[in-house]
Amino acid sequence: MTDPAPIGFAVVDKDVGWTSHDVVAKARGVLGTRKVGHSGTLDPGATGVLVLGVGRATKLLRFITALPKTYVAEVILGVETDSLDADGDVTTTHEMGGVELAAIQAAAVDFVGDIEQIPPMVSAIKIEGKRLHQLAREGKTVERKPRPVTIHRLEITRLLEPASPDQTVFEMEVECSSGTYIRTLGADIGTKLGGGASLRALRRTAIGSFGVERAQPVEDVIVTPPVEALADYPQIVVDDQTRTLITHGRPVGEELVESTGSADGPWLVLAADGQLLALHERVESGRIKPAVVMVSSGS
């Protein structure tokens, strides 16, 4: 008798050179199931936390994607590239040697809070059915609309050794909303300082409470049960009668979520024994409905 396919989340420490798709393909072989997906793409040149959904937990991946992200990046002042990072071709250089740490920190203040970013051409965003990186490979540049993002925390931590005296390299730590481009943030700080910039290195250190200390090489992935992995969200524990309604896909009452202290959700709905039954969210009508039901009515 074969072991049942695992259900849950795995936290991978992605190595440089791997695409997120490469990690998923490898994890399918390691875990023995085709049903593996990822949350929050990392560029091949970046390293760090990549969360995989396994089995039925792939239906919950969008709730992992929505969590804040934390990064550590190295930024080169004085070098612009077409991809805004070290993987691209140099397009412009500036004399930006000797920029002081205090000046960079002062410039970075304007980027904390709710801001707008123009997505880079080398990105996975689709415009008129084509991904921007496909258009970029064809030598095309298209207009991109600014997108709202939130920078929760931005710290310019130290200066690093540059490759040239014309450059200044600094390290920054960023905690931000989903959808933030750290490449764009680095480039915009360079522009603010009167020149230009690109990333030299990027490492994602956390997605929500999934810190890099929990991450494993893809060859050694460990699947964590969904209820443990979704600890960032408030929980509702229901009795057997309500459990029956939940497994039939019914909405829950406002009184159930009030006790969690979260007015917006989403909420994990658990049975008395701790089993994850469903994940509910508030919809436009104000009702609290199941986004994903994890246990069928016959279970």
| 76, 198: one domain | yes
- Asked whether residue 2 is domain-assigned, the answer is no
| 120, 90: one domain | yes
CA nearest to 11, candidates 223, 230, 227, 176: 223
| 83, 158: one domain | yes
- Asked whether residue 217 is domain-assigned, the answer is yes
Final residue in a domain of this structure, among 199, 226, 253: 226
| 73, 109: one domain | yes
Residues identified as active-site: 43
**Domain harbouring 252, CATH code:** 2.30.130.10
Give the pLDDT of residue 287: 77
Gyration radius of the chain's alpha carbons:
22
Q: Which domain holds residue 266?
A: 235-293
| Count of domains forming the chain | 3
For the ranges 3-7, 25-29, 292-296, which has the lowest average pLDDT? 3-7
CB contact at 8 A, 78 and 196: yes
For the ranges 84-93, 153-162, 278-287, which has the lowest average pLDDT? 278-287
Residue-wise pLDDT for 11-42, tens only, equals 999 999 999 999 999 999 999 999 999 987 88
Residue-wise pLDDT for 170-226, tens only, equals 999 999 999 999 999 999 999 999 999 999 999 999 999 899 999 999 999 999 988
Give the pLDDT of residue 3: 57
**Domain harbouring 61, CATH code:** 3.30.2350.10
| 124, 199: one domain | yes
Distance CA(35)–CA(233), nearest Å, equals 24
- Asked whether residue 298 is domain-assigned, the answer is no
Q: Using DSSP bridges, classify how beta strands 197-207 and 210-211 pair: parallel, antiparallel or unpaired.
A: antiparallel
Distance CA(76)–CA(19), nearest Å, equals 23
pLDDT at 148 over 60: yes
Cα dist from 88 to 40, 61, 120, 198, 204, whole Å: 21, 30, 12, 9, 20
Q: What is the Cα 82 distance to its own chain's centre?
A: 23
Q: What integer best gives the mean pLDDT of the chain?
A: 88
- Asked whether residue 3 is domain-assigned, the answer is no
pTM of the model: 0.89
